[in-house]
Structure 1
């Protein structure tokens, strides 16, 4: 019985193997047949629209020359008449005759010290408008360098017209030749100077 079973199983296995071989053979022969006719294949035509190449030329027109800028119309001549007051200042050293001035320190005669530089003082506006003339006497101390210090107003006439104020401003800029004794410069106190204000006629 056992042998018969083995024989039957072997027969069935052989039959199945043969069936598989036959099936594989049929598939191979069917796929490996004659090549299809390539001439029957038609490749679709590639259609390209006809293009017209147009040459575009850019026409550059020359710019019109700009009109030259016209110069502005000439301005009318403006004449401005500026009247400058004819005011002059007469500057001189004062005369000590009849001048009662209390001086501190040593007395210095006018002829001994004459300034090497005298600034031009401004004419007082109030006096100029009123046509008033006057003078002012100042006192200074000459330093070892020739400049001045301790400027003081001793007298002005007429008073309250600005002669003393403008004389003091100018006196601060007076320059003298320093006094030298035995090769050493010394200060000179109590030096007077008179500013006379006169209007030119």
Structure 2
């Protein structure tokens, strides 16, 4: 029996397909077509009560019994604990991973997500205000990430990526859509290329989700 990944072709969904590929865990994809509001179906809400993708069903939970997990950050943490990979065991080394995972969940996702939203609105003052507000903050967050990556191969760890890299990469993957070129972000550009050159990460973005 394999993990069921209930997901769609979004940044949050790609975080988990990348992690599963990197961790070498067998899984099957269960598409949840959010464009047709499938995330509101009662069968999905039973284990993802916030009506958001992704969510997973693991038939082999920590006690050998099935477990479900929703929220992409929680899923990444669970998978890291399950496999003992991409999350340091030492608490001091673990703290930066958790910091940058929370940074992504709290800002580098919600902010570019709002950019996507306002770009789809009819032209006018409300669209312009919303886009400018969230685009400015999104660019600021990219600057934070670029400074963090100065002299570093990965965001929170040395030698190999962590779940924080997978989380952040899911949204950086859409940088063109939220209109942030990498021209002035050399460290982000190098990190992005480094991550995308990993075969397992590439597979995670190629999994058919829609």
TM-score by length of 1: 0.21
TM-score by length of 2: 0.20
Which structure has more helix as a fraction of its residues? 2
Q: Which has the larger radius of gyration?
A: 1
Which structure has more strand as a fraction of its residues? 1
